[in-house]
Structure 1
Amino acid sequence: MKEEIKAVIFDMDGVLIDSEPFWEIAEKKVFGSLGVSLTPELCSQTKFMTTIEVTKFWYGYYQWEGKSFQDVQNEVIECVKLLIKKEGKEIKGIKGLLKFIKTKGFKIGLATNAPYELIPVVLEKLNISDYFDFFTSAEFEKKGKPNPAVYLSVAKNLKINPKNCVVFEDSYSGLLSAKSAGMKTVAYRPKKENLIMKEKIEDFVIHSFSNLNSINRIFI
């Protein structure tokens, strides 16, 4: 890389923890109870939205009564929180990678579209809280990913220029968010499958966090 790396920023769902299935379970339970019919095709459109964006999305298809957006959003979050505490598992190799990054002296941040209150739940569940210098959620921004705001906020709080940050992401919207922020991007694709993208926006592709020798090339 031409720019010196000084900070590494991680997405959360699907990168630190295998929690993405929990969101589908929670949304089917909560929205289903309101009479919303969640189809696989529509669910694929909400996969990387913020929780409030998802709630508004489904309300557009079925305008339920009796519960506010906030009430519904809270129910989804609480369901996901319980699933994380009960069944949450780290992405294989992530703890070793975090330790590896710390030995290099880099700062570590976290930027997620998930609600802020879930961040400490995940970090505590995986016992990785001490590795992070700063974390935040897109819920504090006007727009979530793919808007770059959440990544720029992390860089600002880490006191690191965005061009000196590298981001680990598993989604197109996340990679676009980081790239729009002026950061280097690493696409995590555990199944070695190609994402359908309009353009190539990642600088590196990795399939496992366990191969530290391969990952080390990102920082050279």
Structure 2
Amino acid sequence: MIKAVIFDMDGVLIDSEPFWQRAEREVFGALGVQISDKEAEKTASMTTVEVTRYWFDQQPWTGRSLEKVENDVIDYVQNLVAKEGKPMEGLEDLLEFFTEKDFMIGLSTNSPRRIIPTILKKIGVIDYFDSISSSEDELKAKPDPSVYLSTARKLNVFPSNCIVFEDSGVGIKAAKNANMKVVALLPQEKFDDGKYKMADLKLSHFSDFSEEHLLALSHVKT
């Protein structure tokens, strides 16, 4: 029986991926790092520690520690969220849908811990969440399932009784490896992309999710 829903954050609760891209181009660019669109796509699902290390290994800089550069990126994104952050369309209605069904609600993200409250407060949904987990507190980030398993433990729910909303291939893999049901939130033109084939359901908008989908997911074997 499904008892909990767990959300990824970036690209699911808020369209923050462009913020991270702008921050990385600004901060790393000031250090002389040239970021191509292809490589930016490759790093999109990494943690901030992993992204910083990746660019340093590719194009080393001097004068600033990796930790300082990473924090500069996070600060830049926090400022953008404060100025421009908006919830994904239909998010609050979906949260209400699950709240009315007495579902536990959790968050599992690769983003650093300190930016989570900034985002949840800005988009006005922080009070909906019963548990929050960041891969920063795990030995491995997504696609490792640890951050999803941590949230399930905090919610006191078996992983097989959880639905996850994700938007990335590595996130979907992490949730499936945690033995959870997964809804991929994607533009329709990406439905046939092999990166998302592990998802149990693919939707373009939160508003597309229905009682019928919930019933169907409850019968999915994990």
- Cα distance between partner residues in 2 of 1:180 and 1:205: 18
Question: Which residue is 2:62 aligned to?
Answer: 65
1:36 is paired with a residue of what secondary structure? coil
Q: 1:6 aligns with which of 3, 6, 14?
A: 3
- Is 1:129 equivalent to 2:133 in the alignment? no
| Alignment of structure 1 residues 35-184 onto 2, 5 Å | 35-184=32-181
- Cα distance between partner residues in 2 of 1:204 and 1:94: 17
- Cα distance between partner residues in 2 of 1:74 and 1:199: 31
For the 8 Å contact 2:184–2:196, the answer to whether it is kept is no
Identity across matched positions, percent: 48
Q: Which amino acid aligns with 1:28?
A: R
For the 8 Å contact 1:206–1:215, the answer to whether it is kept is no
- Cα distance between partner residues in 2 of 1:27 and 1:111: 22
Q: Number of aligned residue pairs: give it.
A: 215
- Is 1:205 equivalent to 2:202 in the alignment? yes
RMSD: 1.2
How far off is 1:197 after superposition? Answer: 2.1
Q: Which amino acid aligns with 2:173?
A: L
- Cα distance between partner residues in 1 of 2:184 and 2:39: 24
2:106 is paired with a residue of what secondary structure? strand
Q: 2:214 aligns with which of 210, 216, 219?
A: 219
1:15 is paired with a residue of what secondary structure? coil
Q: Which amino acid aligns with 1:205?
A: K
Per-residue CA deviation, residues 56-108 of structure 1 (Å, 9 max, x unaligned), is 00011111111111100000000000000000011100011001110011000
- Cα distance between partner residues in 2 of 1:172 and 1:199: 5
| Alignment of structure 1 residues 188-203 onto 2, 5 Å | 188-194=185-191, 196-197=193-194, 200-203=197-200
Task: Give the structure-1-normalised TM-score.
Answer: 0.94
